[in-house]
């Protein structure tokens, strides 16, 4: 499932309205970001193609009743190339060759990159919050700018992560993202109430790099 299929247009609209509502009470800027995947994992593609190529070559040689080395190498090369294409184009087949640690590291790096690329570090009062959802990895990162982290313990963001990941397991991500946005609002409104001259500085939802509201 790509980022665009992760949320229906109606669910995207609901999240945008939720962010707008929360931001009427705080000068904080909350931006949910939905990414199809955080990395393409070329090492997993190469390793998976190697393992499957060997297995495929062994199966073919066994099927043809031969133990000829040249036959094995030819079969291996053909299988390796085929499985490389499959693993590159069908991401779900990479999963057995990836560890949770690898994926968590890439999601964390992608979330930090997205934080800066989307300008969350440039808000007037350093009050940007990103709720970064990586669909392929089924992982979530929440990052806040210095202005907020000086007032709110960074550990509390794990609570917000838990809200979204639970909703993903329950196949109701929009509900979880809205609840997470509301929880972020509760955490920061006390320290960063809305100002009379406050403006909406950032998009209210980004899907695959495209601002939706």
Q: Are residues 205 and 182 in the same domain?
A: yes
Integer Cα distance of 212 and 204 in angstroms? 7
pLDDT band of 123, cuts 50, 70, 90: confident
Q: Are residues 80 and 170 in the same domain?
A: no
Q: Are residues 133 and 191 in the same domain?
A: yes
Q: Are residues 146 and 106 in the same domain?
A: yes
Question: Span 16-44, mean pLDDT?
Answer: 94
Q: Are residues 88 and 19 in the same domain?
A: no
Residue 8 sits in a domain whose CATH number is 3.10.310.50
pLDDT band of 151, cuts 50, 70, 90: confident
Integer Cα distance of 137 and 175 in angstroms? 19
Q: Are residues 141 and 166 in the same domain?
A: yes
Is the predicted pLDDT of residue 8 greater than 70, yes or no? yes
Mean pLDDT score of the chain:
92
Question: Span 39-48, mean pLDDT?
Answer: 96
Is the predicted pLDDT of residue 111 greater than 90, yes or no? yes
Is the predicted pLDDT of residue 1 greater than 70, yes or no? no
Q: Are residues 162 and 202 in the same domain?
A: yes
Boundary-marking domain end, from 81, 97, 113: 97
Beta bridge partners of 30: 129
Integer Cα distance of 21 and 15 in angstroms? 10
Question: Span 86-92, mean pLDDT?
Answer: 94
pTM, two decimals, is 0.90
Q: Are residues 158 and 59 in the same domain?
A: no
Is the predicted pLDDT of residue 60 greater than 90, yes or no? yes
Helix axes 9-22, 173-189, angle to 10 degrees: 10
* 14-23, 53-62, 76-85, 116-125: segment of lowest average pLDDT: 116-125
DSSP 20-42: HHHTTSBS-EEEEEEES-S---H
Q: Are residues 198 and 182 in the same domain?
A: yes
Q: In the chain, how many domains are there?
A: 2
* Percent of all residues in the chain with a pLDDT value above 90, rounded to a whole number: 73
Q: Are residues 183 and 159 in the same domain?
A: yes
What's 193's DSSP letter?
B
Q: Which of 117, 161, 168 minimizes the C-alpha distance to 143?
A: 161
* Percent of all residues in the chain with a pLDDT value above 70, rounded to a whole number: 99
Q: Between the ranges 18-27, 48-57, 120-129, 149-158, where is the mean pLDDT highest?
A: 48-57
Is the predicted pLDDT of residue 2 greater than 80, yes or no? no
Boundary-marking domain end, from 97, 123, 138: 97
Helix axes 173-189, 157-169, angle to 10 degrees: 170
Integer Cα distance of 2 and 4 in angstroms? 5
SS3 128: strand
Numbers of helices and strands, H then E, in the chain: 8, 5
Predicted local distance difference test score (pLDDT) of residue 112: 96
Q: Are residues 93 and 141 in the same domain?
A: no
Boundary-marking domain end, from 97, 126, 142: 97
Q: Which of 94, 121, 116 minimizes the C-alpha distance to 39?
A: 94
For the beta sheet containing 206-207, the strands, ordered from the edge strand earlier in sequence to the opposite edge, are 139-144, 128-134, 29-35, 206-207, 210-211
pLDDT band of 38, cuts 50, 70, 90: very high
Q: Are residues 159 and 190 in the same domain?
A: yes
Question: Which residue range is the domain that position 123 belongs to?
Answer: 3-39+99-211
Burial class (CB within 10 angstroms; exposed 0-12, middle 13-18, buried 19+) of 94? buried
């Amino acid at each position: 499932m790509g980022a665009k299929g992760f949320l229906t247009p109606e669910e995207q609209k609901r999240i945008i309205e939720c962010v707008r509502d929360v931001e009427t009470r705080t000068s904080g800027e909350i931006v949910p970001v939905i990414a199809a995947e955080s990395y393409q994992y070329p090492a997993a593609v190469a390793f998976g193609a190697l393992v499957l190529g060997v297995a495929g070559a062994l199966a073919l040689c066994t099927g043809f009743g031969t133990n000829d080395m040249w036959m094995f190498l030819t079969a291996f090369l053909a299988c390796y190339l085929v499985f490389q294409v499959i693993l590159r184009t069908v991401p779900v087949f990479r999963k057995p060759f990836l560890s949770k640690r690898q994926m968590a590291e890439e999601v964390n790096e992608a979330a930090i990159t997205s934080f800066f690329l989307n300008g969350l570090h440039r808000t007037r009062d350093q009050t940007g919050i990103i709720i970064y959802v990586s669909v392929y990895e089924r992982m979530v990162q929440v990052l806040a700018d210095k202005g907020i982290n000086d007032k709110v313990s960074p550990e509390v963001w794990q609570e917000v992560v838990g809200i979204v990941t639970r909703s993903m397991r329950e196949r109701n991500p929009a509900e979880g993202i809205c609840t997470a946005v509301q929880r972020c609002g509760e955490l920061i409104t006390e320290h960063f109430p809305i100002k009379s001259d406050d403006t909406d500085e950032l998009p209210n939802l980004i899907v695959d790099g495209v601002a939706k509201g």
